[in-house]
Amino acid sequence: MAKRKVTTSNRKLRPDLNCDLGFMQLRNPLLIASGTFGYGNEYAELVPLNKLGGFVSKGTTLKPRVGNPTPRIWETASGVLNAIGLQNPGLDVFMRHVLPGLKLKGCKLVVNVAGETEEEYVEMARRLNFAREVAALEVNISCPNVAAGGISFGLKPKAAGELLTKVVKATRKPVIAKLTPNTSSYVKVALAAQSAGCAAVSLTNTFLGMAINLATERPALANVRGGLSGPAIKPLALHQVYEVAAAVDIPVIGIGGISTGQDAVEFMLAGAAAIQVGTALMSDPRSPLRVIDGIKDYMKERGYHQLTDFIGKANPGYLRRRIKLEN
Amino acid sequence: MIIEDAKIVSNELFSPEYGLIGIATEKLGKDFKAGQFLQMEIPGRPDLVLRRPMSPLRIKKRKSGWLIEVLYKLCGAGTRHLAGLAPAQDISVLGPLGRGFRAPVKGGEAVLVAGGTGLGPIFMLAEKLCSKHKVSFYYGAKCAAEIHIRSEIEKLPAKIVLCTDDGSLGGKGVVTDILSKQLIKNGGNPCIYACGPVPMLKAVQKLAVAQGLKLQVSLEERMGCGMGACLSCAVKSADGGYRMVCKDGPVFNADEMVL
């Protein structure tokens, strides 16, 4: 990686934020994370899709799901616990009524799919094959808040590999595996996703946690346990991204507590080819646009012309692997 | 819907538990319906990552922009911090969000019922309805010290009924007991509007059902985004599913919900 001199002329530098993941080209490296952006309509007035690299849909299941009892959300120090329970209208309603109305304006749509059984995942992958608007599937093997499916596929490399192999075979769409941080085998699960033919891995989903409501002396969430997100998990997620990026050859999409441009740059220096922003939207709907501007400012300051000038720079394992791949 | 960096212009504590904050905005305030809410940042506390959803009590036009007044109860880290903020402090506000109260039919009568911080949206509704409708305003609290902005309530061109649990002001007893007697005595076919603690809403719903009256209630639930995206603030609906307080509500037709 050649060092470029930082000079005053860098202020005039117009960094190229185009993000080529191989299977998907994004106009910038920012996607909105699943579950925080609905199906893209809710935030239309505040977060114009034409500014985003892409967004990941709410986790969608084959059949409609009503979700968990309330309370479903609880604020913790610099974080949020949630246990929504995959409330969604089901794949049919999504494909018939939501997809046709979406005006993507160059924003790439990734559909997050979750199932209780392998068959459900495969069926969804097959049906989404025919949706032109869908750039890729993100396979949720990491939802901590449902009784069946979700995380149970993502904890062990073997189970993940078997499921993902079937999903990849069922569709021509690129498949991104969304990984859970709640296993010490996360690197092996990522490698299993790669062997299964996944185009990328995204990590991390939320960390399992809980809170107690002192007013009631009961667990704060009706579901007792939930997934922790927000700035509180950033160092934990960053570490897992760093480890996975040094181990796999497919792109890694970094997620976990990103709310500023600096946060995003940290994930990219750790080896993330793109990033997702989620919980930060709740604090401020303008955060995704600020993150994009922040990445741009960082590149100007450092004299970087394109993202690949700094992706993985802080991760020797990642850099060694890329050099090997190029030769 | 607008997100705006606004300024606190007043912040007065009525009691150790209740405060009234005034926020000056440039644009946010126009077309704000009674019952709609805003999502307020807790300034200076980035560790509190969620905004606080609150319904205004009053919105006034200023020379330039708007003054939004919000009655709040100190119940957690966020509202306690809010209570300590001084005028001139910047504060980010997002709104108007959700669906507000729907007015009665032309010339129709309205019965308004407020309990606790439920006074906010009910007072704002009263100010809007008074000019065009016959309005009765019922407001109950624990004791006299928790009956707020009394002089302004009494200025409303409406029938005002105040009551306290301990009888230290107005009628003694819960607001719904007094409401029940009056509804039976007055007859007619008023629309009822209620905001307050769940036991109060349940009691009002019972009355409405018994008398065959229409009832709109404003509901609360722990909220995330406020935009209908995160699906946190679910409340049970009569059809066995859930509705979102932030997008489908906070004002609902009571007969469609399970309170």
- The Cα B199–Cα A273 span in angstroms is 52
Q: Alpha-carbon distance B46 to B42, whole Å?
A: 8
Interface of B with A in 89-108 (CB under 8 A): 92, 94
User: Stretch B100-113: mean pLDDT, rounded?
Assistant: 93
Q: Are A199 and A136 in contact (CB under 8 A)?
A: yes
Residue B81, φ and ψ in degrees, nearest 5: -65, -40
Burial of A102 (0-12, 13-18, 19+ CB in 10 A): middle
User: Per DSSP, what are the bridge partners of residue B38?
Assistant: B54
| Cα A13 from Cα B148, distance rounded (Å) | 58
Neighbours of B234 (CB within 10 A): 27
Mean predicted lDDT score pLDDT of chain B: 94
Count of other CB atoms within 10 angstroms of residue A7: 9
Average of per-residue pLDDT values in chain A = 94
* Residues paired with residue A219 on neighbouring β-strands, in sequence order: A212
Q: Which among A36, A78, A84 has the least Cβ separation from residue B47?
A: A78
Which residues are CB-contacts of A214 (< 8 A; sequence separation ≥ 6)?
A: none
Q: Using CB atoms, which residue from B1, B50, B241 is nearest to A66? A: B241
Return the number of other C-beta atoms located less than 10 Å from residue B222's C-beta: 19
Q: Check pLDDT > 90 for residue B187.
A: no
A interface test, pick of B223, B225, B233, B235 with most A CB neighbours within 10 Å: B225
Q: Are B18 and B142 in contact (CB under 8 A)?
A: no
Interchain proximity B242–A87, CB inside 8 Å: yes
DSSP for A82-138 reads E-----B--HHHIIIIIGGG---TTPEEEEEE--SSHHHHHHHHHHHTT-TTEEEEE
CATH superfamily placement of domain A8-326 = Aldolase class I (3.20.20.70)
Which residues of chain A does B233 touch, with a Cβ-Cβ cutoff of 8 Å?
70, 72-73
The answer to whether the Cβ–Cβ distance between A72 and B227 falls below 8 Å is no
Subunit contact B222:A74, Cβ cutoff 8 A: yes
Report residue B215 as tokens: 């009832």
Q: Which residue of chain B comes nearest to A83, CA vs CA? A: B232
pLDDT value at residue A152:
82
Structure tokens at B112: 């308004």
Residue A74 amino acid letter: W
Q: Percent helix, strand, coil in chain B (nearest 5)?
A: 25, 35, 40
Mean pLDDT along residues A94-112: 95
Say whether residue B143 is in contact with chain A using an 8 A CB cutoff. no
pLDDT reported for residue A249: 96
Residues of A recognised as catalytic: 143
Cβ-Cβ contacts under 8 Å, A145 against chain B: none
Say whether B41 and A283 touch across the interface (CB within 8 A).
yes
On the question of pLDDT at B227 being above 80, the answer is yes
For residue A4, pLDDT over 80 is answered with no
Calculate the alpha carbon distances from B133 to A132, A229, B113, B139, B178 in Å.
53, 48, 16, 18, 22
* Whole-angstrom distance, CA of residue A37 vs CA of residue B42: 22
Burial class (CB in 10 A: 0-12, 13-18, 19+), B86: exposed
**Which residues in chain A are contacts of B52 at CB distance < 8 A?**
none
Beta-bridge mates of residue A264: none
Give me the count of residues in chain B.
Answer: 259
Q: How far apart are CA A189 and CA A182, in angstroms?
A: 11
- Strand pairing report for B191-195 and B109-115: parallel
What's the mean pLDDT in B187-210?
A: 93
% pLDDT > 70, chain B = 100
Return the minimum-mean-pLDDT range out of A11-20, A104-113, A139-148. Answer: A139-148
- pLDDT at A325 > cutoff 90: no
Predicted ipTM of the assembly: 0.93
Contact yes or no for B234 and A58 at CB 8 A: no
Look at residue B224 and tell me whether its pLDDT is greater than 80: yes
Closest Cα in chain B, distance from residue A16 (Å): 29
B28 touches chain A (CB under 8 A): no
What are the extents of the domains in chain A?
8-326
- Cα(A67)–Cα(A103) distance, rounded to whole angstroms? 27
Q: How far is A82 from chain B (nearest CA, A)?
A: 8
Residue A216, preceding peptide bond in cis (omega within 30° of 0)? no
Query: Taking 80 as the threshold, does the pLDDT of residue A10 lie above it?
Result: no
pLDDT surpasses 60 at A8: no
Nearest CB to B49; choose among A36, A42, A80? A80
Q: 3-class SS at B110?
A: strand
- Characterise A118 by phi-psi region: left (phi > 0), alpha (psi -120 to 50), beta (else): alpha
Q: What would the pLDDT profile of A202-242 be if each residue is shown by its tens digit? A: 999 999 999 999 999 999 999 999 999 999 999 999 999 99
Q: From CA A75, how far away is CA A81, in angstroms rounded?
A: 6
Report which residue type is found at A199: A
Nearest to A35 among B50, B230, B234 (CB): B230
Asked if B242 reaches chain A (Cβ–Cβ under 8 Å), the answer is yes
Band the pLDDT of A7: cuts 50, 70, 90: low
- Candidates A36, A45, A75; nearest CB to B225: A36
Lowest mean pLDDT among A39-43, A144-148, A268-272, B68-72: A144-148
Q: Check CB contact under 8 Å for B234 and A70.
A: yes
Contacts of A78 in chain B (CB under 8 A): 46-47, 49
Query: Is A72 in Cβ contact with B234 (below 8 Å)?
Result: yes
Residue A119 burial by CB count (10 A; 0-12/13-18/19+): exposed, middle or buried? exposed
Q: Do A284 and B3 touch (CB under 8 A)?
A: yes
* % of chain A with per-residue pLDDT over 90: 90
Q: Fill in the amino acid letter for A210.
A: M
In B, which residues are within 8 Å of A284 by CB distance?
A: 3, 41, 92
Which residue in B49, B92, B233 is closest to A279 by CB distance?
B49
How much is the pLDDT for B250?
98
Reading the block at residue A148, the tokens are 């069946």
Chain A nearest CA to B209, separation (Å):
26
The Cα A62–Cα A162 span in angstroms is: 20
Contacts of A8 (CB under 8 A, 6+ apart): none
Backbone angles phi, psi at A100, to 5 degrees: -60, -25
Residue A65 DSSP label? B
How confident is the model over B152-186, as pLDDT tens digits? 999 999 999 999 999 998 888 888 888 888 888 88
Size of chain A in residues: 327
- Find chain A residues with C-beta within 8 A of B3's C-beta: 46, 284-286
Residue B174 has a pLDDT of 87
CA distance B77 to chain A (A): 10
